[in-house]
């Protein structure tokens, strides 16, 4: 009887978490979806990167655990339910980003049973540290997905924010650590054409 009560309590915590993360659909990002009409939300961003990982894992520099990498990408922005989305080129917002996101991770993952909280916190921290093959590839996906959508929308978000090439290269200085091949593809197919068209401010050599 006691184990049945414990199971219900565990299940209740899991559904509390599942219900809470529905709010991720409300967190807007600065990247437009491919039609260029509206911007994507965090849940759409996470789904897109998870699919990308299934398709593109063959280009990882090192062998990766695909399921672990997908899990990492599906949960890493959940903290933005509390912390909000910090735009990649918002230098002021980045100063407080880590503190805001740590507090959010503690609260949101804290809704889970202790063992799952510990697992999700560990995976989230692994992504943040960016050291393991899975974290490196996940971060590559996190950087390349918006580059792809920005290119698809004729650089719309880059133009709106007046983004310079130097900022993009600084943002992506470690993108090649997950996949050199995908980074080269992104440079040649997403970034370079938009520099040439003037959608990205050309202040540095590519």
> pLDDT tens-digit profile of 151-189?
999 999 999 999 999 999 999 999 999 999 999 999 999
In the structure, what pLDDT confidence band is assigned to residue 8 with cuts at 50, 70 and 90?
Answer: confident
* Tally of residues, the chain: 206
- Count other Cβ atoms within 10 Å, centred on residue 101: 21
For 29, how many CA atoms within 13 A lie in the half-sphere containing its CB?
21
pLDDT at residue 96, rounded to an integer: 76
Q: List, in sequence order, every beta strand (DSSP E) within the chain.
A: 28-32, 39-41
Q: What secondary structure does DSSP assign to 109-120, as a single string?
A: HTTS-HHHHHHH
Nearest CA among 196, 197, 202, 204 for reference residue 173: 204
CA 3 – CA 6 distance, rounded (Å): 5
Helix (H, G, I), strand (E, B) or coil at 13: helix
pLDDT digit string, tens, across residues 63-90: 999 999 999 999 999 999 998 876 656 5
What single-letter DSSP state applies at residue 188?
I
């Amino acid at each position: 009887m006691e184990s049945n009560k414990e199971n219900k309590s565990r299940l209740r915590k899991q559904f509390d978490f599942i219900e809470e993360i529905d709010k991720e659909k409300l967190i807007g990002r600065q990247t437009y979806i491919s039609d260029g009409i509206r911007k994507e939300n965090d849940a759409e961003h996470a789904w897109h990167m998870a699919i990308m990982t299934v398709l593109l894992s063959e280009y990882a520099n090192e062998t990766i655990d695909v399921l672990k990498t997908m899990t990492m990408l599906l949960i890493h922005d959940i903290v933005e339910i509390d912390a909000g989305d910090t735009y990649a080129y918002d230098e002021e917002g980045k100063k407080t980003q880590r503190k805001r996101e740590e507090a959010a991770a503690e609260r949101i993952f804290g809704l889970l049973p202790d063992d799952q909280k510990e697992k999700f916190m560990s995976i989230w921290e692994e992504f943040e540290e960016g050291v393991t093959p899975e974290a490196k590839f996940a971060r590559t996906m996190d950087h390349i997905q918006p580059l792809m959508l920005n290119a698809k929308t004729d650089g719309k978000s880059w133009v709106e924010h007046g983004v310079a090439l130097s900022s993009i290269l600084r943002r992506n200085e470690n993108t090649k650590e997950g996949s050199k091949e995908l980074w080269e593809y992104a440079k040649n197919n997403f970034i370079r054409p938009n520099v040439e068209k003037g959608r990205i401010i050309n202040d540095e050599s590519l």
